Amino acid sequence: MKNILRTAVQQRRQFLIDKLLKVGVFKKEDRHLYEWTLSDLEEEFRYIETSSLAKGKMDQDNQLQQ
């Protein structure tokens, strides 16, 4: 069970890192994305998702994947 949870967290972190990289977020306050906790990544992703600046880019990425 422990390994399943760990794998799920790692996959979610990687998913969020990939999405943030696509919209141009590489690091913040001298911390690279790979140093962030899952909570930090979730918070930044929610912020970017609601931001009008990145909204168009995320929509484009979603259309390309479909």
pLDDT one-digit tens code per residue, 33-54: 999 999 999 999 999 888 865 5
Degrees, nearest 5: CA angle 28-31-32: 90
Degrees, nearest 5: CA angle 48-11-34: 60
**Mean pLDDT across 23-36:** 91
Total-model pTM: 0.74
Residue 29's pLDDT is: 87
Amino acid at site 59: D
* Number of other residues whose CB lies within 10 A of the CB of residue 10: 11
Which comes out higher in pLDDT, residue 49 or 18? 18
Q: Range of 46's domain?
A: 2-65
Q: How far is the C-alpha of 49 from the C-alpha of 54, rounded, in Å?
A: 7
Q: How many domains does the chain have?
A: 1
**If residue 18 lies in a helix (H) or strand (E), which one and from where to where?**
helix 2-22
Give the model's confidence band at 57: pLDDT under 50 very low, under 70 low, under 90 confident, else very high. low
